[in-house]
Amino acid sequence: MRRIAAEDIEEDGLWNDKDDRWPPLPLDEWEDTRATLHMWTQIVGKIRMTLSPPQNHWWHVPLYVCARGLTTSLIPYGPGGFEILFDFVEHKLLIPKSDGSTATLDLAPRSVADFYRELMSTLKSLGIEAQINVKPMEVPDPIPFDQDTVHAAYDADYANRFWRILLNTDCVLREFRGRFVGKSSPIHFFWGSFDLALTRFSGRRAPERPGADLVTREAYSHEVISCGFWPGGGPVKGAAFYCYAAPAPAGLEQMRVQPDAAFYHEELGEFFLMYDDMRRAPLPDDTLLDFAQSTYDAAADLAKWDRDALEVKNMNAK
């Protein structure tokens, strides 16, 4: 991976956003757009979940970063299949089918209810029937999609910035993923929590979580260490990279990780590196890799993972 230094994209102390791999993403400036996109991706994600064969750890649920936005990847349907793709370059929702037909919706300011109705109507016109649960997941005070006229913002610039960050995070995490030969997830975009995640597995089953629901039991049936990117919210007042272990080994919160700006969030039980601290580093890509590697090292060592069997040793050193 080519390393790009901050000075390569900074002119006279001002960030050139067109050329910036890591553009600014202040939460308070795009929060309305983020909330709307969260609901739109939930609708599309639920269509994939409903029509796709189940996979372990709910891997039939997420979306994936692609060259123009976020995609469901292939959804099997009838004698072929289809895909739903958020294009954050041209700001369209694309629905190509394997029979050669296709449909397009505009990504523009519109309510969640309007987006839901048009998408379902468009799918039906393509011969695709999809019945989904219209209640959003993992959000406080959920409004059913077909009734949600509250969330209706779409700032094309911030939607594009968000995708560019996901794209470049995906590229860095692919390098990190290549250092591991054990079981590893694809790089998922989870539309419930609205974050990008890569998960490594030790190969051992995890202890049962008392009171865990069906989703949590399946997601954390085995020991994992996950890292990823989240645009922020709640107690985290901005975009951030994160890493956590489940179950968390004793003493993890006391471990020193890289870079110095990274910290352990006691309430959430995760390590965080704020996005702005990463993007302002002299070598942002290396800084993100160091965060992913050092947090994994700390958790894997404390949990006594069989690192000799799980890792490609000569790829862990830069």
pLDDT in tens, 132-180: 999 999 999 999 999 999 999 999 999 999 999 999 999 999 999 999 9
19 pLDDT band, cuts 50/70/90, is low
Chain segment 258-282, per-residue pLDDT in tens:
999 999 999 999 999 999 999 999 9
Whether residue 59 is predicted with pLDDT greater than 50 in this model: the reply is yes
Nearest CA to 261 among 236, 286, 281? 281
Amino acid at 143: I
- Structure tokens of 229? 């990117």
Q: Percent of the chain beyond pLDDT 90?
A: 85
Residue 8 pLDDT? 45
Average pLDDT along the chain: 92
For the segment 223-239, the average pLDDT, to the nearest whole number, is 96
More confident residue, 18 or 43: 43
| Arithmetic mean of pLDDT, 41-67 | 95
Return the pLDDT at 246: 95
- pLDDT of 6 > 70? The answer is no
| Token pair of 248 as six digits | 């968390």
pLDDT digits (tens, 9 = 90+) for 65-90: 999 999 999 999 999 999 999 999 99
**Sign of the four-CA dihedral 275, 279, 284, 287:** negative
| Per-residue pLDDT at 218 exceeds 70 | yes
Cα 115–Cα 120–Cα 126 angle in degrees, nearest 5: 125
At 13 the pLDDT is 36
| Predicted pLDDT of residue 140 | 94
Distance of CA 269 to the CA centre of its chain: 19
Going 104 to 32 to 273 to 89, the CA torsion angle's sign is positive
Phi-psi category of 312—alpha, beta or left, where left has phi over 0 and alpha has psi -120 to 50?
A: beta
Q: Which residues contact 230 (CB under 8 A, 6 or more apart)?
A: 193, 194, 195, 196, 236, 239, 240, 241, 242
Q: Which residue has the tokens 């000569």?
A: 314
Whole-angstrom distance between the N-terminal and C-terminal Cα of the chain?
A: 11
Kindly tell me if the per-residue pLDDT of 123 is higher than 70.
Answer: yes
Which letter does DSSP use for residue 183 in this model?
-
Angle at 193 between CA 273 and CA 165, to 5 degrees: 50
Q: Which contacts of 47-53 are long-range, i.e. CB under 8 A and separated by 24 or more positions?
A: 47/72, 47/75, 47/84, 47/123, 47/130, 47/132, 48/72, 48/73, 48/75, 48/84, 49/132, 50/130, 50/131, 50/132, 51/75, 51/76, 51/77, 51/130, 52/76
Q: Dihedrals φ, ψ of 94, to 5°?
A: -105, 140
The fraction of the chain above a pLDDT of 70, given in percent, is 92
pLDDT higher than threshold 50 for residue 11? no
